[in-house]
Amino acid sequence: MTENTALVELVGRQYQHGFVTDIESDTVAPGLDEDVVRFISRKKGEPEFLLQWRLKALRHWFTLREPHWARAHYPAIDYQSISYFSAPKAKTDGPKSLADVDPKLLETYAKLGVPLHERARLAGVAVDAVFDSVSVATTFKERLSAAGVIFCSFSEAVRNHPALIEQYLGTVVPVADNFYAALNSAVFTDGSFVYVPKGVRCPMELSTYFRINAANTGQFERTLIIADADSHVSYLEGCTAPMRDENQLHAAVVELVALDNAFIKYSTVQNWYPGDERGVGGIYNFVTKRGECRGRNSHISWTQVETGSAITWKYPSCVLRGEGSIGEFYSVATVNNYQQADTGTKMIHIGRDTRSTIVSKGISAGHGQNSYRGLVKILPSAHGARNFTQCDSLLMGGTCGAHTFPYVEVKNPTATVEHEASTSKISEDQLFYCQQRGIATEDAVNMIVSGFCKSVFKELPMEFAVEAQNLLAVSLEGAVG
The residue ranges that bind another protein (CB under 8 A) are 1-3, 6, 427-430, 432-441, 443, 447-448, 450-455
Residue 359 CB, nearest approach to another protein (Å) = 12
Q: Give CA–CA dist 481/478, Å, rounded.
A: 8
Residue 14: count of CB within 10 angstroms of its CB:
9
Other C-beta atoms closer than 10 Å to the C-beta of 367 total 18
Q: Cβ of residue 302: shortest distance to another protein, in angstroms?
A: 21
- The alpha carbon dihedral of 200, 201, 203, 208 has a sign of positive
Residue 34 vs 442, nearer CB to another protein: 442
- Decide whether 68 or 437 has the Cβ nearer to another protein: 437
Nearest distance in Å: CB 236, another protein: 23
Q: How far is the CB of 432 from another protein (least distance, A)?
A: 5
* Half-sphere exposure in the Cβ direction for 46 (13 Å, CA): 27
Question: Residue 96: CB partners within 8 Å, gap ≥ 6?
Answer: none
Report the residue number, 29 or 462, with the smaller CB distance to another protein: 462
Least distance in angstroms from the C-beta of 455 to another protein: 8
Residue whose CB is less far from another protein, 229 or 439: 439
CA contacts within 13 A on the Cβ side of 186: 26
Element (H, E) at 57: helix 48-62
DSSP reduced 3-state for 159? helix
Q: What's the rounded Cα separation, in Å, for the pair 190 and 193? A: 9
Nearer to another protein, 340 or 446 (CB): 446
Closest approach, Cβ 451 to another protein, in A, equals: 3
Find, among 423, 289, 410, 279, the residue nearest to 344 by Cα: 289
Least gap, CB of 438 to another protein (angstroms): 4
Least distance CB 259 / another protein (angstroms): 36
**Other Cβ atoms within 10 Å of 110 Cβ, number:** 11
Q: Give dist(CA 474, CA 471) in Å, integer.
A: 5
Residue 7 or 347: the one with the smaller Cβ distance to another protein is: 7
CA 251, 316, 47, 211 dihedral sign is: positive
Helices and strands: H and E segment counts in the chain: 12, 23
Closest CB to another protein among residues 2, 14? 2
Closest to another protein by CB, 24 vs 420, is 420
- Write phi, then psi, for 289 (nearest 5 degrees): -125, 125
Closest separation between CB of residue 402 and another protein, Å? 17
| CA distances (Å), origin 362, targets 85, 212, 340, 344, 391 | 35, 25, 11, 10, 8
Residue whose CB is less far from another protein, 75 or 438: 438
